[in-house]
Amino acid sequence: MPEDAAPFFVGPHRFDADADPTRPVLDRRYALVPEPGERMLGHHLLRVAGHLLGPTEDVRCWALPTPATITVTDRRLVYVCSGSELSVVPGRDSRTGARHRRPVRLSRLVSGQIRWQWPSRLELADLGDGTAELRVVCDALRTIRQPALALSGPVGPVTGLARQVRRSVAGYRLANPDLVDLSPPERDVLTTRVAASPGPMLGTVTLPGSLPVEFLSRDDYYRPPVAEASPWARSDAPARDQPGSAC
């Protein structure tokens, strides 16, 4: 996955990378354009932030200054925030430091997504004063810490979103065994996640079968990388030990 591509919470220095063909497609009203066969499940208006989580640390890398529109489908979660520039929270791993050679491109339209191949667990916490926070935690190869998307707002909508995401992720993985590897025990856990009671679920819920955010399918994960050509190789030079070669 290109460095500037989604999901942005791994290296939160740029949004809507021009070269990212997998970013959400929006219509002129900034609403998500669904993919063929994709079903819309719900819409929410919540605050959004990106975190990197370690065993003993929690670094908030960026935060959107105004609530974002959250769209949940049977394939992904998409957020869109318009009318305000991105508020960046610098950190040690942030791409916004002064020594970084590429400056941050601020945008008045920010969008991103988490596809259901990626979440490894959900964390729901009561923040008090009638608010709650849901963290959708993923794994990544480019960092030893776990990237997480934090969505916060009133307890009712956030709890409902957590339940919706839990069931959607589990259902998607059970329905698409060609995209993720599932053992029989993992399938049993996901079946439980789909049928779990609708009540509050404060705490952590695991989601077996996740892929690192750099991959969209298990084939991408297990496919060996293609060897890169030597940077000094010349396409017009004859190959050695071949007709026309000097040797």
Whole-angstrom Cα distance, residue 246 to residue 234? 15
Please determine, for residue 155, whether its predicted confidence score (pLDDT) is greater than 90: yes
Confirm if 152 and 47 have CB atoms less than 8 A apart.
yes
Whole-angstrom Cα distance, residue 7 to residue 9? 6
Instruction: Look at 125-139, 145-159, 215-229 and tell me which has the smallest mean pLDDT.
Output: 215-229
pTM above 0.85, yes or no: no
**Is domain 40-218 classified as CATH 2.30.29.30?**
yes
Tell me the pLDDT tens digit for each residue of 113-151: 999 999 999 999 999 999 999 999 999 887 788 999 999
Whole-angstrom Cα distance, residue 46 to residue 60? 17
Q: Which residue has the higher pLDDT, 37 or 15?
A: 37
Tell me the pLDDT tens digit for each residue of 65-97: 899 999 999 999 999 887 655 544 444 343 434
Which runs of E-coded beta strand occur in the chain?
A: 40-53, 58-63, 68-73, 76-82, 87-88, 109-115, 121-128, 131-137, 146-154, 203-206
**How far is C-alpha 130 from the chain's CA centre?**
27
Q: What is the mean pLDDT of residues 214-223?
A: 76
Give residue 98's pLDDT: 38
Instruction: Look at 11-25, 85-99, 143-157 and tell me which has the smallest mean pLDDT.
Output: 85-99
Give the residue extent of every domain in the chain.
40-218
